[in-house]
Structure 1
């Protein structure tokens, strides 16, 4: 698969440049603030109590990885738009991509494991395998997270050996009126891309979908049982279940959209600075931000801390 990208000064219009810089930038900054809040809240609890639950530990790791990912996405997006010729130099391009891919893989794995952990701990299934996993998941989780980091590293490092993209810095002169115009070629090895890149993000996708589906089924089943017991539609427990179902459904929606955007963006099937590429960048920046905001408002401890922080800010502003 070969994509031809024209990196002349007139390659991108000013409105598109501003949109591509500003919208993902705002999303990344918002996401870093949200993830910084999650990380700070759990770190303070860890320092005070000298211990942290497994779910909060995964949240801390996920938040830290997302802060790094969104910071790197913002830097790469800015550099690729403002310094396009330098960005497409072989060493620079590989440096940006290998870090982006490692952080992306890790982020997807951590989010999937968080969803799997919630599913195993919350979902009400009596299958022996499920019960065995519930008993052992807490002890297994540190090893699973370390294994995910190792797998992410193994799947991202091949880009340094031109496994995914080759001839990144190759150019040919193209006559253009009275001047010579360079067109840069980015060639993607389709077989290696499909085997390594797609597999690396497809496995956590399947895990996330499977765990989210099981959790939704379990919550809906429990909600129906409460309705059949005539507990009333305004019962707080039932409303909490419905909020959880909506939140998990939206998590799933964001995860799948992010998956599609990643595939299109990394496969070089879209021309640089096209509307499709801009949308992919916006979606990739929106996913960790949206997911983190939902995690804050669906987690009782984080929600209470956020409200307390808002109250304190309002009080100090009045003073």
Structure 2
């Protein structure tokens, strides 16, 4: 079976590279945690006060909770791997980090796909019998779909610890201008097993997300064109809202696809540790949940109003 072997030590990493690898993903994670924390808090408060929550808001809250955990784990793994490389590269520690990371990633991508499917079914206007049947049943199905996705993510993540990665130490690397040797940790990746595990876990939600986003964009664009043809005034708030929705969904789709590619390259150990390619993958992976949460806040009227109210209250208290 094909294998990729990479160096896992960072003894020769420069201070500038270390700072960039720590600071940029760290800022992205903190930004995402603030954004997703705000989404969770807003919906949790509404749920507590009214004793009910719409299906879309509940799904969004679950997605944001999973992203909070993912971003915390991303920041922990990135910091730990850079500051404590020898401890991180112990076989059991390395595999534990990767399994939890993949479980949170799988769950995150599944939940994002289901949220997109829900929006598509509830908003898009298609007359196909199957689509109309789903429109009636999707609300009751969502809790079961989310629980099933979490279970599937766990089932696909656990085999990674057994069949994909193996970390071992080579203690016979000679040190230049010295009679001593140094330890180097080597990460061996079984590419075939990784490709099977990765695509089983992510291919279905990827197709779901792309399909639902495409259908929703087509439906919204058709509806926007109809409103544009029937518009009597120069400014139509409803049409602007639809165009904004098309742009937001298109942005979601780009974020999702870029994250898919970066995650594939990073987890397959295609690039050497601390190389430009590896650092870029980390930045994209941490940017996706942060960027998507910000887009969700500003594309959701309720969240946008609450965010503006929060900003106003913060400014008021700072002035007084």
Instruction: Give the shorter-chain TM-score range.
Output: over 0.9
Task: Tell me whether 85-94 or 185-194 shows the greater mean CA deviation.
Answer: 185-194
Which residues of structure 2 form unaligned runs of 5+? Answer: none
Query: Where does 1:32-71 land on structure 2 (aligned, <5 Å)?
Result: 32-71=33-72
3-state DSSP of counterpart to 2:272 = coil
Q: Give 1:2 shift.
A: 2.2
Are residue 82 (structure 1) and residue 78 (structure 2) matched? Answer: no
Shift of 1:176: 2.8
In 1, the alpha carbon distance for the partners of 2:192 and 2:171 equals 25
SS in 2 for 1:4: strand
Within 2, Cα distance between the matches of 1:8 and 1:318? 47
Mapped pair 1:287 → 2:288: yes
What residue number does 1:194 align with? 195
TM-score by length of 2: 0.96
How far is 1:195 from its partner?
A: 1.1
Q: 1:171 to 1:198 in 2, by over 3 A?
A: farther
Task: Identify unmatched segments of 5+ residues in structure 1.
Answer: none
* TM-score after normalising by structure 1: 0.96
Q: Output the aligned Cα RMSD.
A: 1.2
- Whole-angstrom distance in 2 between the partners of 1:288 and 1:8: 27
Distance in 2 (alpha carbons) for counterparts of 1:9 and 1:50: 54
2:230 aligned with 1:234:
no
2:174 paired residue number: 175
Does structure 2 conserve the Cα–Cα contact (< 8 Å) formed by 1:5 and 1:271?
yes
In the other structure, the counterpart of 2:73 is 72
Work out the CA distance in 1 between the residues paired with 2:207 and 2:234: 33
Q: Is residue 4 from structure 1 mapped to residue 3 from structure 2 by the alignment?
A: no
Report the secondary structure of 1:64's partner residue.
Answer: helix
Count of residue correspondences: 316
Q: CA deviation at 1:199?
A: 2.1
Supply the distance in 1 between the matched residues of 2:157 and 2:232 (Cα, whole angstroms).
52
Inter-CA distance 87–316: structure 2 relative to 1 (3 Å threshold):
same
For the residue of structure 2 that corresponds to 1:51, the secondary structure is: coil
Taking the aligned partners of 1:246 and 1:267, their CA distance within structure 2 comes to 32
Tell me how far 1:48 sits from its aligned partner: 0.6
